[in-house]
Amino acid sequence: MTVNSTQTSSPQQVTEQKDLKPLFSKRFRGYFPVVIDVETAGFNAQTDALLELAASVLTLDETSGKLSIDETIQFNIEPFEGANLEPAALEFTGIDPENPLRGAVDEKEALTTLFKLVRKKMKAAGCQRAIIVAHNAAFDLGFLNAATNRCSIKRSPFHAFVSFDTTTLSGLALGQTVLAKACIAANIDFNNSEAHSALYDTEKTAELFCFIVNRWQDMGGWPLSIDSNEELEKANK
Q: What is the pLDDT of residue 228?
A: 47
pLDDT exceeds cutoff 80 at 71: yes
CB 182 within 8 A of CB 209: no
Of residues 117 and 236, more confidence is placed in 117
pLDDT exceeds cutoff 50 at 229: no
pTM listed for this prediction: 0.86
Q: Cα separation of 183 and 211, whole Å? A: 9
Share of the chain above pLDDT 90, in %: 82
Q: Is residue 159 among the annotated active site residues?
A: no
Cα Rg, the chain, nearest whole Å = 21
Beta bridge pairs of residue 36: 55
Q: What is the pLDDT of residue 20?
A: 78
Of residues 176 and 232, more confidence is placed in 176
Q: What is the pLDDT of residue 1?
A: 45
139-186 residue pLDDT tens: 999 999 999 999 999 999 999 999 999 999 999 999 999 999 999 999
Annotated catalytic residue, options 21, 102, 119, 196 = 196
Q: Cα separation of 228 and 214, whole Å? A: 24
Q: What is the pLDDT of residue 7?
A: 54
